[in-house]
Amino acid sequence: MKILSIENLDINKILHYFEKDVVVIPTETVYGLAAAINNENALKNIYKLKRRPSDNPLIVHVSSIEMLKTVIEGEIPKVYEKIIENFWPGPISLLFKANKNVSRTVTAGLDTILVRMPDNKIILEIIEKLNIPLAAPSANLSGKPSPSCVHHTIDDFGEECPLYLDGGECRVGLESTVFTYLNSPAILRPGGICIEVLEKLIGEKININYSVKKIENQQICPGQKYKHYSPNNKFVLIISDSVNIEELVKEYKKVGILTHYDFKPKMKREQDCEIIYLGNKPYEVAMNLFKGLRKLDETCDIIITKGVSIEMEGEAIMDRVKKAAHMII
């Protein structure tokens, strides 16, 4: 196992890792477990290391529009061209019809493919030098909180991964938005680009479809079908204003509380509480959510937080905490 900072990285010296196996890479969203899409053994190792179900497709990362065209069928829709012009490189993945030459391990046997261009100069240079896209789901054990720093990925995979590239903390902290226009405009997973921003850009109402519902036959994106983002210890999401928090946590020895701009409870048993403040604004809460969950999961028997309003980044935050929660009250 080797850990290398991307600062002053000699890219040519690490390219051979991508030709053999998986590599943990930083992006602006979360850390990814990457493999070249023409390396079938490495692709299968992504599923093995993550303990990921084989019907959960992988998002493909490209470094150019020319590379994008090698993995899709047909022309790029006009709406996608507008999104690409405004938000690539960036935290949004687009759903295309897949080129028939793309490995079915990448697409999970579907006829569609999710593609994005990550906003990380070093990773884009690596992809460009490899001259092959990278498949890169989040670098965490399936079902657990996503990794926003390299230490989270080491905690999950340890010696199982041969190379970790350390790019510091991710500035978005949540996975990419997943958008489709293959049938009608819809967000399949909220993320780094908000629905309000997209609607203003394309001039159309966008549907929200986060459940396991087929659009145009078989099209499912990561995050829809299985339990995601959950810590090991009990995580409770409060959405009611009438919850007695002291009563809720009285049976637990160590209580973790994720507070934010709209949730600052006063606890009588402060000595038994570990409190992490996620931020004053929705984008700060999004950036710090997974980091806070992982930190409290190390020491606390129960973790609680309260929901936020769904404007802007709030939609993505609520998607994650609802899926992560063992209980919603």
Same domain, 43 and 152: yes
Quickly state the pLDDT bin for 212 (edges 50, 70, 90).
very low
Query: Which of 195, 206, 122 shows the shortest CA–CA distance to 165?
Result: 122
Same domain, 110 and 245: no
Same domain, 248 and 179: no
DSSP letter, residue 270? G
Same domain, 57 and 188: yes
Number of domains in the chain: 2
Residue 305 annotated as binding site: no
91 in a structural domain: yes
Residue 61 annotated as binding site: yes
In contact, 222 and 140? CB cutoff 8 Å:
no
CA–centroid distance for 38 within its chain: 23
pTM for the full model? 0.93
Same domain, 141 and 247: no
219 in a structural domain: no
226 pLDDT exceeds 80?
no
> Of the ranges 198-212, 220-234, 237-251, 307-321, which one carries the lowest mean pLDDT score?
220-234
Residue 52 annotated as binding site: yes
Task: Please list the residues that pair with 327 across neighbouring strands.
Answer: 236
Residue 47 annotated as binding site: no
218 in a structural domain: no
Q: What is the CATH number of the domain that holds 112?
A: 3.90.870.10
Q: What is the CATH number of the domain that holds 320?
A: 3.40.50.11030
Same domain, 167 and 54: yes
11 in a structural domain: yes
The residue ranking higher by pLDDT, 228 or 154, is 154
Residue 176 annotated as binding site: yes
275 pLDDT exceeds 90?
yes
- What is residue 304's predicted lDDT score, i.e. its pLDDT? 98
Residue 112 annotated as binding site: yes
Task: Please list the residues that pair with 274 across neighbouring strands.
Answer: 256
131 in a structural domain: yes
Same domain, 135 and 193: yes
> Cα separation of 124 and 134, whole Å?
10
C-alpha distances (whole Å) from 20 to each of 41, 63, 322 are 8, 20, 37
Same domain, 149 and 81: yes
Residue 105 annotated as binding site: no
Domain end residue (candidates: 172, 191, 208): 208
- Torsion angle of the four alpha carbons 227, 231, 232, 234, in this order, in degrees rounded to the nearest 10: -90
216 pLDDT exceeds 60?
no
124 in a structural domain: yes
DSSP letter, residue 251? T
Same domain, 24 and 113: yes
213 pLDDT exceeds 70?
no
Query: Which of 211, 204, 210, 213 shows the shortest CA–CA distance to 185?
Result: 204
219 pLDDT exceeds 70?
no
Number of C-alpha atoms within 13 angstroms, CB side, residue 226?
A: 16
- Torsion angle of the four alpha carbons 260, 266, 268, 272, in this order, in degrees rounded to the nearest 10: 10
Quickly state the pLDDT bin for 268 (edges 50, 70, 90).
confident
214 in a structural domain: no
Quickly state the pLDDT bin for 269 (edges 50, 70, 90).
confident
Same domain, 44 and 192: yes
What are residue 81's phi and psi, to 5 degrees?
-60, -40
274 in a structural domain: yes
Q: Which two tokens stand for residue 69?
A: 């065209």
Provide the domain limits for residue 171: 2-208
Same domain, 155 and 296: no
> Cα separation of 161 and 123, whole Å?
18
Residue 136 annotated as binding site: yes
Task: Please list the residues that pair with 187 across neighbouring strands.
Answer: 179, 208
What is the SS3 assignment for 157?
Answer: helix
Same domain, 267 and 196: no
Which residue shows structure tokens 């600052």? 264
Strand pairing class (92-97; 112-116): antiparallel
Quickly state the pLDDT bin for 225 (edges 50, 70, 90).
low
Residue 229 annotated as binding site: yes
Residue 189 annotated as binding site: yes
Residue 116 annotated as binding site: yes
Residue 146 annotated as binding site: yes
Instruction: Render pLDDT for 5-50 as a digit per residue (tens, 0 to 9).
Output: 999 999 999 999 998 999 999 999 999 999 999 999 999 999 999 9
> Cα separation of 235 and 50, whole Å?
22
